[in-house]
Structure 1
Amino acid sequence: MALSVHDPRAPFVLDVHELGRRPGSMRRVSRDVPAVADLGLGGVVGVPEGTAIRLELRLEAVMEGVLVSGTARASFTGECARCLDPIGGDIVVDVQELYAYPENEPGPEAGEGDLLVIDDNIDLEQPVRDAVVLALPSAPVCREECPGLCSVCGARLADDPSHQHDITDPRWAALAELLADDTNESGSRGAGPTEEM
């Protein structure tokens, strides 16, 4: 993995220079960072861009690099998967990531992406994104007993619990058509003019 230089002004970038490669040295970080774009699940549910994500982190120097652990708290919005009403809520996710010193960068046999590499800073955007997206509900509902929408007309079933449609079972539809045709034919025969003798 190539060493990348991070912009120290970026919201998810933290300075770890002061830890000084001294295993056991530690500091805590509490900060609000704005949510990045497309932080969610395909437009169904997500954290709106710019919404504050609260980070409560512990940065600890270890032999291999810097271990980051803590939590990220965010508010999400979306639509109920059953009735399409707007919903929202809060999630708190655990964040844990080891950032390696350049000399501890994994070799080709270890595969790409095993460790994130430090310059004087670390970038938390990808670990936070991964943790938040995994914690979002894949099929969010406004309430567990939400009945959803009518599959025929789209009406909200919560507004009319007795809502229903008289639908002929498709297995009987052909028979119903035959009966309707037979009724129409017999009706038309009976309604014809009568001849006077």
Structure 2
Amino acid sequence: MRALERTVPAPEDLGLELIGVPAGSDLHLDLEMTSVSEGVFVSGTVAGPLQGECGRCLRPIEDDFSARIRELYAYPESATEETTDEDEVGRLQDDLIDLEPALRDAVVFALPVNPLCRPDCPGLCSECGAHWDELPEDHSHRQIDPRWAGLSKLTASTEE
């Protein structure tokens, strides 16, 4: 077994539509590589910063994440290489391991599909688009049925 701790720059487009890892930011890898009969088993964690926007109110989000990596990289001409498709299991190439696909999978699966700035985020008013947090308690957009619109003029004149 061999331990590896490294800080590497984040690749482009690492994330989802609303949240992801900024390109070039530091990703901290804490990995263990273990030789097994069919290849090298890599396990450990990747951690780094996240940036995005809230899925309800569109406010910016900055956070940190940590995700687990567990991946087998097959030796050339091993039984695993012969019995699996090329995209099922990673492959050693001249004693090198390409961790990017495993890293992408681990990070993307660890991210929230609908990120929130806070768990109780009320979102935006569907009519005016203002943040519900910033609106008064009695905020509303009174909808009048077009069939009754003429009668609303009568009630407005009697209130005056």
TM-score of the superposed pair, with normalisation by structure 2: 0.87
Alignment correspondent of 2:20: 46
Using the alignment, how far apart are the partners of 2:152 and 2:25 within structure 1? 61
* Deviation of 1:136 (Å): 0.8
1:164 aligns with 2:140: yes
* Deviation of 1:123 (Å): 1.1
CA RMSD in angstroms comes to 1.8
* Deviation of 1:161 (Å): 4.4
Alignment correspondent of 1:80: 54
Alignment correspondent of 1:179: 151
What are the residue-to-residue correspondences of 1:24-173 with 2, within 5 Å?
26-42=1-17, 44-104=18-78, 106-107=81-82, 110-118=84-92, 119-162=94-137, 163-168=139-144, 173=145
| Sequence identity percentage | 47
Query: Greater Rg, structure 1 or structure 2?
Result: 1
The letter for the 1-side match of 2:34 is E
User: Number of aligned pairs?
Assistant: 152
CA contact 2:7–2:28 (8 Å) conserved in 1: yes
The letter for the 1-side match of 2:67 is V
* Deviation of 1:106 (Å): 2.8
* Deviation of 1:175 (Å): 2.8
* Secondary structure of 2:97 counterpart: strand
Q: Structure 1, residues 39-60: CA drift from partner, whole Å, max 9, x if none? A: 0102x10000001010000011
* Deviation of 1:174 (Å): 3.9
Alignment correspondent of 1:15: none
Using the alignment, how far apart are the partners of 2:150 and 2:90 within structure 1? 71
Using the alignment, how far apart are the partners of 1:90 and 1:40 within structure 2? 13
The letter for the 1-side match of 2:68 is D
The letter for the 2-side match of 1:51 is S
Alignment correspondent of 1:12: none
CA contact 2:75–2:81 (8 Å) conserved in 1: no
* Secondary structure of 1:106 counterpart: helix
Using the alignment, how far apart are the partners of 1:94 and 1:40 within structure 2? 15
* Deviation of 1:114 (Å): 1.7
